[in-house]
Amino acid sequence: MKRLVVIMMVTFSIVACKNEPKVEYALLSGKIVNPKGQSAVIYKGQNKVAELNVAADGTFADTLTIETGYYTFVHGRENASIYLAQGNDLTMSLNTAKFDESITYVGNGAENNNYLVKKYLVDEKESGDFVAVYTMEENDFIAKLNAIKDAKKKVFDEATNLSDEFKELEKKNLEFEHLLNLQNYPSYHEYYAKKDGFEASKDLMKPLASIDYNNAEYYDELSNYRRLVQNHYANKIRESEAPSKVFDEVLANGFPKLKEDLSKMLNYEISPNNEYNEAYYKGLLAMSTDEAFKAKLTKKYEKVKLLAKGMPSPAFIDYENHKGGTMSLEDLRGKYVYVDVWATWCGPCKREIPYLKEVEQKYHEKNIAFVSTSIDKSKDHNVWVEMVKDKQLGGIQLFADNDWNSKFVTDYAIEGIPRFLLIDPEGQIVTADAPRPSDPKLIKMFEELKL
């Protein structure tokens, strides 16, 4: 009988072990010195996973039901990569006065994340000036890229106690990160080196040819691979003279998440100057299963069709003029009008200011008005007033009546700034997406119009 009881106990023990519930959560707690607000957010890609309450003393704690993988921790305007695994019990410390340099972790999962912090700091140091790197000629660029890769690999090789699952993922992540930087070179070099129509050599881009762009598992787990794949198909569509054929290829061979993400990403390509708008519209509709998105896309497509060259321009009415009073587009009839839609918080907008001043000066006596329309929120009205003074902005400085929701802005389907428009003396659209002041194409356009 005793033997039977022992056997039953052993059997029960085995069954109990087999039935032990799987841990599907991670514990994340910590303290933020000098907190910027009362919350921190965890993202997986662009999807919000959790919002953490940050107490007045900067402490936070939560139980996160997650899949093991890379996430992004966001607080205020700063963010950091974080690797969360089921069963982790992780404590994070940081000081917003020196965000990246101050992050440390203790607890189960700390080694993986302290490695990520060190890798980021080494990457930041080795990469240096982003613009300078992508302005380099090919040989110098690839040498710099390899130096960055080697520096990060050294950090990886010297890291201890990394989990086996994390190590396997991170090896792939480092390789895809290197390839992503390589993939970005042609477009970034064209822009920063101001080489219109630049094409990288086939030898430089050869490593990209061997990538499998249809791995759904990598796509879900590795952000660098995800961006590689998105860029690959987006570039293929943009560069094609028959984009509908590329859309058909993606529809036939792409996995569902890729198609949904591409539809959102390429939504911005439907614009006044895109001669393939119809192909994009039909392709994006076919790729998406999001009915709300498709309704919004249709509304945008119908609006963009009204922004073709020669169509009547949408009008702004009674916008506040920095010099006093108000102004409407109708007040400028008889002149060409070059409109800059911008905001005081927009870095790319502010980088155009010196170039805009030069163009204004060059065409000061010509039949053209330069109008800068701020879409700052009303609470930032005084910031706009002071910036116009401090930077001695020229031309006509206006303040839109309802920021992004101003009718003039929505009628022009503006979803990103800076955005430049050119309207003719009769109030008709010359282009609803004009070249920026920093782009030599703008002066060429003015010359063709005999301004």
Structure-token match 């997986």, residue found: 44
Residues 119-147, mean pLDDT to the nearest whole number: 95
- Collapsing DSSP states into helix, strand and coil, what is residue 37? coil
Please classify residue 114 by burial: count the beta carbons closer than 10 Å to its beta carbon, then call 0-12 exposed, 13-18 middle and 19+ buried.
middle
Confidence band, pLDDT 50/70/90 cuts, at residue 257: very high
pLDDT at 172 over 60: yes
CB 54 within 8 Å of CB 37? yes
Provide the pLDDT for residue 21: 61
Instruction: Tell me the pLDDT tens digit for each residue of 93-121.
Output: 999 999 999 999 999 999 999 999 999 99
Give the chain's mean pLDDT.
Answer: 93
Confidence band, pLDDT 50/70/90 cuts, at residue 20: low
Instruction: Tell me the pLDDT tens digit for each residue of 76-88.
Output: 999 999 999 999 9
Sign of CA dihedral 133, 137, 142, 144: negative
Angle value at C-alpha 173, between 168 and 178, nearest 5 degrees? 140
pLDDT at 264 over 50: yes
CA separation, residue 58 to residues 31, 77, 97, 110 (Å): 5, 16, 13, 20
Token digits of residue 36? 């910027």
Residues 177-183, mean pLDDT to the nearest whole number: 97
CB 70 within 8 Å of CB 223? yes
Phi, psi of 39 (to 5 degrees): -150, 160
Residues 441-446, mean pLDDT to the nearest whole number: 96
pLDDT at 7 over 90: no
Instruction: Tell me the pLDDT tens digit for each residue of 208-218.
Output: 999 999 999 99
Q: Global pTM? A: 0.79
pLDDT at 6 over 90: no
- Give dist(CA 427, CA 334) in Å, integer: 8
The DSSP symbol for 169 reads H
Domain boundaries along the sequence of the chain: 25-108, 131-306, 319-448
Residues 259-286, mean pLDDT to the nearest whole number: 94
Provide the pLDDT for residue 3: 44
Strands of the 25-33 sheet, one edge to the other = 59-65, 25-33, 89-95, 104-108
% of the chain exceeding 70 in pLDDT: 95
Pick the CATH number of 25-108 from 3.30.230.10, 3.30.70.100, 2.40.50.100, 2.60.40.10: 2.60.40.10
Instruction: Tell me the pLDDT tens digit for each residue of 286-313.
Output: 999 999 999 999 999 999 999 999 999 9
- Give dist(CA 394, CA 359) in Å, integer: 11
Instruction: Tell me the pLDDT tens digit for each residue of 353-387.
Output: 999 999 999 999 999 999 999 999 999 999 999 99
Is 11 or 424 the better-scoring residue by pLDDT? Answer: 424
Residues 147-154, mean pLDDT to the nearest whole number: 96
pLDDT at 205 over 70: yes
Confidence band, pLDDT 50/70/90 cuts, at residue 19: low
- Give dist(CA 207, CA 448) in Å, integer: 42
Is 48 or 7 the better-scoring residue by pLDDT? Answer: 48
What share of residues in the chain are helix, strand, coil (percent, to 5)? 50, 20, 30
What architecture does CATH give domain 319-448? 3-Layer(aba) Sandwich (3.40)
Residues 156-169, mean pLDDT to the nearest whole number: 96
- Give dist(CA 368, CA 356) in Å, integer: 13
pLDDT at 274 over 80: yes
Structure-token match 């402490």, residue found: 59
Residues 189-211, mean pLDDT to the nearest whole number: 93
